[in-house]
Amino acid sequence: MKSEREGFFIEVALGIPLARLLSYRVPDYLRAGIEAGKRVLVPLGKRTVTGYVVGSDARPEGLEIKDILEILDDEPLFTPHHLAFYRWISDYYFFPLGGVIKTAHPASIDITSRQVFSLSEKGRSSPLAGRDSAAAKVMTALAGEKEISIAVLQRLTGSKVPPGLLAQLELPFVSIPGNHDSREMMRAVFPHAFALRAGPLNQTIQIRELDLVLLDSSVHGKPHGELEAPTLQWLEKALAASPDRPALLFLHHPPFRAGIWHMDRQNLLNAAELALLVRRHPRVQLIASGHVHRAALTMFAGVQTTICPALNHAVDLDLAQLRQPSFKVEPPSFHRHSWFAGEGFGSVVTHQVPIGQYDGPHPFFGPDGKLL
């Protein structure tokens, strides 16, 4: 950051559909805390929104520059190394930098739904006895409020809240590489415990009675996918290790043809090998993939297999090869896979969920019990 006679200015990326970065001035009383990688609260027209500091800026000539209102983080959410990665994604996909950063940090959302904390039912019934003083302060502050922001929480406790106390409240996530990703960069950026020390980024995540098996189908420098021999060997052992637990498989490249000609030639090229392996392990209840940027569902090796929808552009649904490879701008959405315990290995239901603010929910029935 740099200071000039006219003031101290920064570049801010907003987590809204806005392609360009905006310049803001940092008031004197906030200068000590400003740093690239932190979130800031900024005015935008009549609204107040959350932005991400991505660098310093000289004062634009002939423009009235507004001040930032608040710094929302004590420590940066991302490093310069991460920021370079986000800029690359933004340039490659023609997607706003702020949107990329917001997607990479689920807790870093705009001010209309700011990050807040609250006690669960289990937490409210849990005694404070035996907790260390920092935890007791946090629990006491949370017990008196329905929802509370990190800034207010720190004011109530009178000290900086240790990050470890709140880490368990953050949304857990795991990642698998796609055809544009670097294994080395992902190992450096994401703190997952991958199954192999080098090569493919495979892993197994156990959630209660369920196993999530994540497969690396990426091929360096190529758009198509392939499961390397070490991955197939590891998958065989991983599925054989717990034959009584249901398993959901996730990989980037779909193991089936979706009917879109230019995407089908870059799907999972050795899908037949995966099919043989899956058929030997009936505990596999779902195979979920991506890559095609368009939702699809079929049966593969006797298992329901999906392609998730896109968060940015959607591939044109050209089933007759009428056009050159094309994309469309459609509402973003994601798949939510719900597993239900039951007979055998239980069952999986997949819901497609749109992303955005929509009217509702509205009740079907009025106070009198009659259909509205």
Residue ranges of domains in the chain, CATH in brackets: 3-104 (3.40.1440.60), 115-167 (no CATH), 183-354 (3.30.750.180)
Q: Longest C-alpha distance within the chain, in Å?
A: 72
How far apart CA 104 and CA 315 sit, in angstroms, is: 22
DSSP state letter for 138:
H
Which residues are CB-contacts of 330 (< 8 A; sequence separation ≥ 6)? 310, 313, 314
Predicted confidence at residue 164, as pLDDT, reads 52
More confident residue, 170 or 368: 368
Per DSSP bridges, beta strands 39-44 and 47-56 are antiparallel
Of 2-6, 57-61, 302-306, give the lowest mean pLDDT range: 2-6
How far apart CA 326 and CA 314 sit, in angstroms, is: 9
Predicted confidence at residue 1, as pLDDT, reads 43
Predicted confidence at residue 152, as pLDDT, reads 62
* Six-digit token string for 83: 């920021």
Predicted confidence at residue 19, as pLDDT, reads 80
Rg (alpha carbons) of the chain, rounded to whole number: 24
The residue count of the chain comes to 372
Residue in the structure block whose two tokens are 């990326």: 13
> Among 286, 297, 306, which residue's Cα sits nearest to residue 212?
286
Predicted confidence at residue 313, as pLDDT, reads 87
Q: What angle do CA 205, 294, 178 make, to 5 degrees?
A: 45
DSSP state letter for 31:
G
DSSP state letter for 113:
G
Percent of the chain scored above 90 by pLDDT?
51
Helix (H/G/I), strand (E/B), else coil: 201: coil
Mind listing the pLDDT tens digit for each residue in 217-258? Answer: 999 989 999 999 999 999 999 999 999 999 999 999 999 999
222-238: string of b/e by CB count within 10 Å (b at 16+)?
Answer: ebbbbbbeebbebbeeb
